[in-house]
Structures are given as C-alpha cells and as structure tokens.
C-alpha cells in the first residue's frame, strides 16, 4: 500500500499537538482532583459547547454518515447528526439541573437519591459501556492511520491508543476539553473546506446530481419513524451518558450548561449535511465502492477529488472525531471507578493527590483493555449499539427522572435500573422486532416501572427519596 505522505504529516502534527496539550495542562493547570476530573468547574460557554459537539461527532457521524448516504439513506443520512442536534433542545432543560447537583459522576447522583445498590449497578453499567465505546473509537482512529501509512491495522490501533492514553492521563478533563475545541474546529472546517474541492474535482454539482436518482435528495427518505426514533435514541443516550454529563458538570454555572446544550445543537446541525453530500458524491462517481456499502466513501471522495493537503485535513478530522470521543469515554470510566468504587468502598479518606494518581492509573489500564478489544476488529456498529443500549436503558430513568421528579421513592430508582436493563437485553436478543431500537424499548420500560413503583409506594405512604441536590 502506498504511503500518503502529506496527509500522514498533517495527522502526525495533529497527534503531537494533542500530546503537547496534555503535557502543558498537567504542568501548569492541574492542582487537585476537581481540576483533573472536571476542569475545576470553570469551563465557559464555547468550550462546553465545543466539547459536547466533539464528543457527539465521532467516526459514526463523519465516515458513518457518508457511508449511510452512499448505501441507501441518501440526503436523509444527515438526520444521523441532525437528530442529535434536536435532542440537545430537551437536554437543555436537564443541563442546569445536572450542574446544580455538584456531583462528579452519574452513579454519585443515583446513589445519593436511591441508595448504594442502585449506585453500584449504575457504575458497573457505565464502566462496561465505556470500555466498548473507547475500543470502538480507538479502532476507528487506527483504521485511518492504517490507510495513510500502509502499516498493519493492529500496529495503528496501538499508536492511536497510546496517544489517547498519554494526553488524557496527563491533562485530565481540561486537556480533553481543550483538545475537543481543537478537534471540533478541525472536523468542521476540514470537511467544510474539502467539500467544494471534492464537488469541483468530481465534475461539478450538475454532473453529480444528474448521475443520481431524485429519491437520493429526499431529506426524509429514511422515514419519519426512523427520524423520531433517532431523536429519542440520542436524548436517552445523552442524558445518561457520562461523557455528556461530565461536560455539564464542568461548566462554570448552571446557565452556561443550559446555553451550551443549545449552542452545541446549532454547531452539530451546521455540520450534518457536509459528510452526507460527500457520501452522495462518492455514490455518483463509484456506485460499486466497497461492494455497494460505501464504507470508505468519505476517504474515497477526498483522496480522488481533492488536493493532498485537503485529504490530510479530512484524515485529521476523522482521527480528531474518533479521538475526541475516546478520550472522554476513557476519563469518565476512570473517574467512575475511582470516585464511585475505590473512594466510596475502599478508601473514603484518600488524599486528593493520590486520587489523581489512581485515576491516571485507571486511565492506562482501561485504555490498554480497550485497545485489546479493538484488536479483535469487532464491528464498530455492533460495539456502539451494545454500549449505548447498556448504559442508557437502565440508568436513564433513575438518573434523568431522579433529577426532575421530586416525589420519586427510593425503590423506584433501583427497580427502573433492573427492569430497563433486562428489557434492553431481551429486546436485543430477539432481534429488535418492529424496527424498535433496543434502547428505546428498554428506556420505555425503565420509565414505566419508575412511575409505577413511585405511584404504588406513595399510595402506601412511603416517603420520597432524598434529593439529588445538596442545596
């Protein structure tokens, strides 16, 4: 395989830059565990919004959207990102509540309201899912590096994994947030600049549109039911996603958290159609690509119809998209293990500096395990679907409704976690019939059981669970 020199140089410069951010943040900013885990709770509007956006826009929202546009969704593939943008609107209602809890993790809030058993269940579900999500993003990063260098995929997975380990372990949340800002800008402007070059290189828009059936330009081609399902799916995963919650918790105040949710939605909406159009261009030029699946549609269109430096920018954008998700998942998993397991059950009086050291050690161990999972080259879609369903269906009601429903009873949280988790596994095992996603099915039963238990126990005279808030 031929080495693509210019794109490779750009990606190397990007990776070195990420390492430098981690080093400088560690040296000059990290003073205590709050600095390390939550950036000192002083992140401003643009940083929180960029970090939220970068975490949402991983490999699935760049290369994955282009592939969906190529393989049947057409222009409606943009909804894969637009649905996430829409989901940020109701999430803005919860964002200031999340910041007001003054908690570090989701299990901490669940434990505060519904007791230690519910907290431990939530921690286990969160960490298990974060392992899978970290592995999938490292695999995606390694795939791009492999294409650029010609090196074996396994070697490139190790390279990508060690870069993520290094800057996340050194700099913590602030390094993650700073790199997220850089990564979102690279993703957005890299793809935006590439698009006109690709259109021109492919012969112009008229040539492209003439080569495609009119149905490919139907923005609702995928169907209204699928679009609504995507919006609900994103809302469930965002509200119960540790990497999202940690960003709101890191905001400098509740209003900033709320505004950042809305701004992030706008930022993602602006990006949605760019990879979609690139996927359609690849379809017009080479409908047989990857056996008609278009898995490499984004890189195919870029390498064939844009200058080398543009290809490098897009490659860096894809690596940025995947790494921005990997670093956040990694830090969240380490923080949960440290705060909700180690400190709570093994060493309640642990010194602050030691807590940082243990979190860093967890970073290394978790990333090494995730890299090992990635080396099996399991389908990214399979990994992500399993992880999102696992982390959301159970804790969604306990955490989200726990923030909003004051009269919820203690047992409502634990029962909803168990019912939601069992429901999502059952629905996944029987193949998600009727086109209903397992996560939607699981969240529905989690919510239903939450309200049912609360209603019955309140009728029996049971008191409401303790507040999720300290004030």
Q: Rounded to an integer, what distance in angstroms lies between the CA atom of residue 93 and that of residue 90?
A: 6
417 within some domain: no
As for how many domains the chain has, the answer is 1
At 64-122, the pLDDT tens digits run 899 899 998 999 999 999 999 999 999 999 999 999 999 999 999 999 999 999 999 99
293 within some domain: yes
468 within some domain: no
235 within some domain: yes
**What is the CATH classification number for the domain harbouring 123?**
1.20.1730.10
Indicate the pLDDT class of residue 378, thresholds 50, 70 and 90: low
Distances (CA, A) of 311 to 63, 69, 128, 170, 273: 13, 20, 35, 30, 19
- In the 8-state DSSP scheme, what is residue 67? H
Boundaries of domain holding 225? 5-381
Contact at 8 Å (CB) between 298 and 275?
A: yes
Q: Rounded to an integer, what distance in angstroms lies between the CA atom of residue 417 and that of residue 399?
A: 9
At 256-296, the pLDDT tens digits run 999 999 999 999 999 999 999 999 999 999 999 878 888 88
Average pLDDT over residues 456-471: 93
219 within some domain: yes
Distances (CA, A) of 109 to 40, 95, 385: 19, 14, 25
388 within some domain: no
Q: Give the number of other Cβ atoms within 10 Å of residue 65's Cβ.
A: 29
401 within some domain: no
Percent residues over pLDDT 90 in the chain: 52
Q: Rounded to an integer, what distance in angstroms lies between the CA atom of residue 414 and that of residue 257?
A: 28
| Residue 6: pLDDT over 90 | no
| Burial profile 445-464: b = 16 or more Cβ within 10 angstroms, e = fewer | bbbebbeebbeebeeeeeeb
Average pLDDT over residues 165-186: 85
463 within some domain: no
Indicate the pLDDT class of residue 303, thresholds 50, 70 and 90: confident
């Amino acid at each position: 395989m031929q080495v693509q020199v210019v794109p490779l140089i750009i990606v190397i410069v990007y990776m070195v830059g990420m390492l430098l951010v981690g080093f400088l943040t560690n040296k000059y900013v990290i003073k205590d565990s709050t600095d390390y885990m939550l950036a000192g709770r002083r992140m401003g509007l643009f940083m929180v919004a960029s970090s939220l956006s970068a975490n949402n826009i991983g490999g699935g929202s760049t290369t994955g959207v282009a592939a969906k546009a190529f393989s049947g969704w057409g222009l409606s593939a943009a909804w894969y990102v637009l649905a996430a943008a829409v989901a940020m609107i109701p999430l803005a209602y919860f964002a200031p509540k999340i910041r007001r809890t003054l908690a570090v993790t989701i299990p901490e809030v669940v434990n505060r309201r519904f007791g230690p058993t519910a907290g431990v269940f939530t921690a286990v579900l969160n960490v298990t899912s974060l392992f899978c999500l970290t592995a999938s993003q490292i695999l995606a990063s390694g795939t791009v590096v492999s294409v650029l260098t010609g090196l074996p995929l396994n070697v490139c997975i190790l390279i990508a994994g060690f870069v993520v380990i290094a800057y996340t372990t050194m700099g913590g949340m602030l390094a993650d947030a700073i790199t997220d800002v850089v990564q979102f800008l690279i993703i957005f402007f890299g793809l935006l600049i590439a698009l006109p070059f690709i259109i021109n290189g492919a012969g112009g828009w008229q040539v492209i549109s003439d080569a495609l059936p009119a149905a490919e330009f139907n923005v609702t081609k995928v169907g209204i039911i699928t679009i609504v399902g995507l919006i609900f799916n994103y809302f469930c995963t965002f509200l119960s996603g540790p990497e999202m919650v940690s960003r709101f918790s890191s905001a400098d105040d509740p209003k900033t958290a709320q505004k950042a949710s809305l701004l992030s939605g706008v930022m993602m909406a602006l990006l949605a159609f760019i990879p979609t159009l690139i996927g359609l261009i690849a379809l017009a030029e080479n409908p047989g690509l990857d056996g008609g699946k278009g898995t490499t549609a984004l890189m195919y269109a870029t390498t064939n119809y844009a200058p080398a430096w543009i290809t490098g920018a897009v490659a860096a954008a894809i690596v940025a998209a995947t790494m921005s998700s990997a670093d956040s998942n990694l830090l969240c998993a380490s923080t949960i293990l440290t705060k909700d397991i180690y400190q709570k059950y093994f060493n309640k009086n642990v010194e602050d500096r030691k807590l940082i050291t243990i979190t860093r050690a967890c970073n290394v161990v978790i990333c090494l395990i995730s890299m090992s999972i990635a080396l099996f080259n399991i389908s990214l879609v399979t990994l992500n679907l399993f992880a999102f369903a696992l982390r959301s269906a159970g804790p969604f009601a306990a955490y989200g409704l726990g923030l909003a429903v004051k009269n919820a009873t203690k047992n409502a949280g634990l029962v909803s976690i168990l019912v939601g988790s069992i429901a999502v596994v059952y629905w996944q095992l029987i193949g998600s019939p009727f086109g209903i996603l397992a996560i939607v099915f699981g969240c529905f039963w989690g919510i239903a059981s939450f309200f049912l238990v609360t209603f019955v126990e309140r009728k029996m005279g049971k008191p409401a669970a303790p507040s999720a808030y300290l004030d």
